[in-house]
Structure 1
């Protein structure tokens, strides 16, 4: 599979991935290598001495313990057990920290690689990506971001109407879908030898907001003129893909700027942001013993901010930062990740090697369990595709074989904890990507809308003498798990779902080498495609476009505008590399 949101609802929802301003998170196209190992986080004195284990990564350990059911809601004090997914070639454990970019074999641009080339490249970097992606990103490509109205419901209109794309989405068909360049943003300067994360992009009613190297900055959505900026003490490690109706969200960041000597200061700080007002609301952390917890992820559900890690999860009130729960001494189970949006879902694991992972829908204010589903044996890690309806992706028995983190998807009744349907999605057939070792809410190349899961196939060769490559998007019924209608990309084109638009799906459509891409709406009933944005077809524009992909970067489309942005920046001599490129329709 190839790769959140960062980032429909029941029966037209996907737990926050339903808003017109959401983006799919992606992975780092040039994964870093050989970072510096941080000091080991010590457990409190009252905990039993843990076995020797690698220290947690700066963006979170990425190696949470194995799971089993546990009474109550609490968190372990022992460091997480080594993650077999993160073992380096030759059986050596990974190292952690902010790394330098890896040197990868030369290959064509992302938009021109064949399926075999992409799979070969992914196979080379999948282990490294899993080990270090938590440091920085993602919507990716995959994770979606939202700028919604009300209780994370978004301004998605129900029912059809004149000019509407598809059968009931909010996005309108422009009179002229031809795209023009709106603006480009330069990458921030990074000290020599460093790579930092710039994860996070959102749309509000009057701004496009993007993470920089150590700040959050808002820009005019049409011109790119700076509107406001919030300084941070260190780089952003993770960003919630959800935004409340009044423009609030949360991030995890480092407490200081990395240097060549100190490549990471740890992803320990949780900050709530008011994107509408352009201000920081509060900054908090959690501690085990005398050290702050290094988080792997962060999400927002209602008025709750929740952050997970291999050392346990913590939650705060979004308005004032009041503590809702923290790691508890002596607890042998923890929440290593959360999914947010309309519901709050915890991925819970315990220290017992024989234990199974639990998917728990929890009360966002109290942390009490409302329902629980026990994942099958052979599931070590999982990802939240959607919380409402509840959809979980997992690599059962590590059978996916392509670094995607997906062999199967589980549709779960959040009210009862019962399995609705299991969808088989083998890695050599389908192209969704979750990379769910620690980045549990950043699946990409998929969308949930109208109680259906939309999943693209891997690219394959078309027939005929001049055979090209193409793929399809298949709709799966979440009640039965059965595949239904499909949308064909067309010869030389490839479809990648970005997000839901009511009952419809917004997708990016990569073109052949000699054509610009498109943003299309896929009708949730007929699977008919409607072009919303046609990218420019000149050589310069195509060269810029192929530098971005929903597999690897953040794509965010709304109201005739497409924003493509990086999730990592590093020291580079390539002056033409951009942080953000934005296009808009002419009509």
Structure 2
């Protein structure tokens, strides 16, 4: 099968005012009362998305018409934006870190009092204050602050701010209907023990060892030119799969019967270059430790050479791999190609794919290196034909898929993320139509998601579920404000309109919350510990954001040192069935340890089981 086709022609440029998010109304809004002149505008409180300063783009432009395999792309067109959103209200003094606040509403205008002489007597100042307070509380309960919906459509979305989604419900309408349904249960004893430690393998140079999974019987971890399955409780090797070269890509998704696609090199690395092309695609059975199939392909910009890939994913019966040579897909059952990279006049290629249960989504890049256009396409996984697409705004040269259903992608727009996180904004997209529903700005000084700029499925510390986007805030001073008292929160945004919801969860003084994965409607999160405590695993209700302790690790110095020897932003955290595994993803040239407290590990395991 050929590469997914690009879409047909589209209008040459945005209409006046830009695509996507509606323009801010003139001062005072559309029918909104004018704020008092003596009240200067305040900065948005910590944890709220910033009001965009420029028109937002969201109208999916399309590439020049081409056909691959006889399938012309027919993406849906986005409708012009709707107007009528109220202004962001004035804000009071900044609230606690990461939490939405009560807006400062305009003063109540003077009104005549019935029965007064001439009907013109004004309300007393005290009565005005009382009325203003009642109005402010009622409006806060009814909806909180506004964030412009970038979608547009036939209906005017909540112009009066009375949507039930304002309280965090999304389509479910209210936090009470969210969360729950998780498989992880609170153990009889939440006190964990150190189950085992895996030593760092000897390597002559920096080596990527990304990839780890939990099955019903094994913890599986990438090694050097191999993959190894370990006993869940003892850490002894159950099986070892030797490979022709180093693993260079691994899917975060696996099948129900524990099969997972991986990428690896055709030959072993040798000095002095210590590098090999990542050309081999295989399906690994995590139960038996055997390769079900192995394949490689040629074509696209690689010409007669094997195509190199940088990442691989899985959806249904399709394995999809992408990289700078273009994208390809394979039949899960036998590895037969579904489509291959194709050279084309538009200089277009699939950089990579997002998979999982929700669908298969391609990030497609066209044009020159200096002036690229990036399009997110929801694909038919069997043919590669685009079902819908959304063209990312100018200033985006790469996009990461956080979730395929609901479709949420991340991007660093105009290199605005100055902290190395790789993400400045999240885009909530209707996967059926390609229509932008909301754009959520994640200020790098406020929020702490991480996205790799070269991996389409490279985002961590961000979760999607319950119609919400869950983000950790950056660390900040705790209640005492003393050194070493840093903490953070996890906050949530409604994907239907981009607004922050009132519910949040606090890490507690000296702990830092790291969201790991969804468990039904709940979040599983790890709490990075202070210097004198062990780490914790908690389950967070996705609606109420109430936290429940699942595991607390030992606090003795030796165990704490092993637990915190990993990078909090670079390690792999896997939790399931009362067991936590923390593993490295990148190991350096091996050096002898001079002390117990600078010893490094490939992985450590904690358990409350048994």
- Using structure 2 for the length normalisation, give the TM-score: 0.68
In structure 2, the partner of 1:60 is none
Secondary structure of the structure 2 residue equivalent to 1:544: helix
Which of 246, 259, 264 is equivalent to 1:253?
A: 264
Indicate whether 1:555 and 2:567 are aligned: no
Indicate whether 1:522 and 2:516 are aligned: no
Which of 262, 268, 290 is equivalent to 2:304?
A: 290
Indicate whether 1:543 and 2:561 are aligned: yes
CA distance in 1, matches of 2:466, 2:378: 21
* CA apart distance, 1:516: 1.0
In structure 1, the partner of 2:235 is 224
CA distance in 2, matches of 1:70, 1:204: 45
In structure 2, the partner of 1:451 is 467
Structure 1's unaligned 5+ residue stretches are: 1-66, 76-165
Contact 1:243 1:249 in 2 (8 A): yes
CA distance in 1, matches of 2:475, 2:344: 49
CA distance in 1, matches of 2:609, 2:592: 30
What per-residue deviation string (whole Å, max 9, x for no partner) do you get for residues 73-110 of structure 1? 769xxxxxxxxxxxxxxxxxxxxxxxxxxxxxxxxxxx
* CA apart distance, 1:462: 2.7
CA distance in 2, matches of 1:318, 1:504: 30
Which of 366, 373, 380 is equivalent to 1:356?
A: 373
Which of 478, 483, 486 is equivalent to 1:469?
A: 486
CA distance in 2, matches of 1:385, 1:573: 36
What per-residue deviation string (whole Å, max 9, x for no partner) do you get for residues 422-450 of structure 1? 11101111000102x21110211111121
In structure 1, the partner of 2:508 is 490
CA distance in 2, matches of 1:302, 1:557: 24
* CA apart distance, 1:580: 1.2
Indicate whether 1:585 and 2:585 are aligned: no
When structure 1 is superposed on structure 2, of 417-426 and 462-471 the one drifting more is 462-471
When structure 1 is superposed on structure 2, of 329-338 and 306-315 the one drifting more is 329-338
What CA RMSD, in Å, does the superposition of the two structures yield over aligned residues?
A: 1.9
Contact 1:385 1:443 in 2 (8 A): yes
CA distance in 2, matches of 1:330, 1:417: 24
Distance 1:409 1:230, change over 3 A: same
Distance 1:299 1:586, change over 3 A: closer
Contact 2:220 2:227 in 1 (8 A): yes
* CA apart distance, 1:356: 2.5
CA distance in 2, matches of 1:298, 1:553: 19
CA distance in 2, matches of 1:340, 1:464: 44
Which of 406, 410, 414 is equivalent to 2:423?
A: 406
CA distance in 1, matches of 2:208, 2:479: 42
- Write out aligned runs for 1:63-212 (5 A): 69-72=63-66, 167-191=180-204, 194-212=205-223
Distance 1:263 1:73, change over 3 A: farther
Distance 1:225 1:74, change over 3 A: farther
CA distance in 1, matches of 2:399, 2:324: 14
CA distance in 2, matches of 1:74, 1:443: 31
Indicate whether 1:433 and 2:444 are aligned: no
In structure 1, the partner of 2:326 is 312
* CA apart distance, 1:570: 3.1
| Relative contact order, higher structure (CA 8 A, sep 6+) | 1
Secondary structure of the structure 2 residue equivalent to 1:496: strand
Contact 1:178 1:586 in 2 (8 A): no
Contact 2:479 2:509 in 1 (8 A): no
Aligned residues: 429
- Using structure 1 for the length normalisation, give the TM-score: 0.70
Distance 1:464 1:225, change over 3 A: closer
In structure 2, the partner of 1:338 is 353
What per-residue deviation string (whole Å, max 9, x for no partner) do you get for residues 462-518 of structure 1? 344646211110011111111111111111111110000111100010122111110
Secondary structure of the structure 2 residue equivalent to 1:526: coil
Secondary structure of the structure 2 residue equivalent to 1:291: coil
Contact 2:379 2:386 in 1 (8 A): yes
Distance 1:334 1:370, change over 3 A: same
Secondary structure of the structure 1 residue equivalent to 2:451: coil
In structure 2, the partner of 1:387 is 404
The structure number with the bigger radius of gyration is: 2
Contact 1:382 1:405 in 2 (8 A): no
In structure 2, the partner of 1:301 is 315
Secondary structure of the structure 2 residue equivalent to 1:357: strand
* CA apart distance, 1:236: 0.8
Which of 560, 582, 605 is equivalent to 1:564?
A: 582
In structure 1, the partner of 2:458 is 442
In structure 2, the partner of 1:53 is none
Distance 1:447 1:264, change over 3 A: same
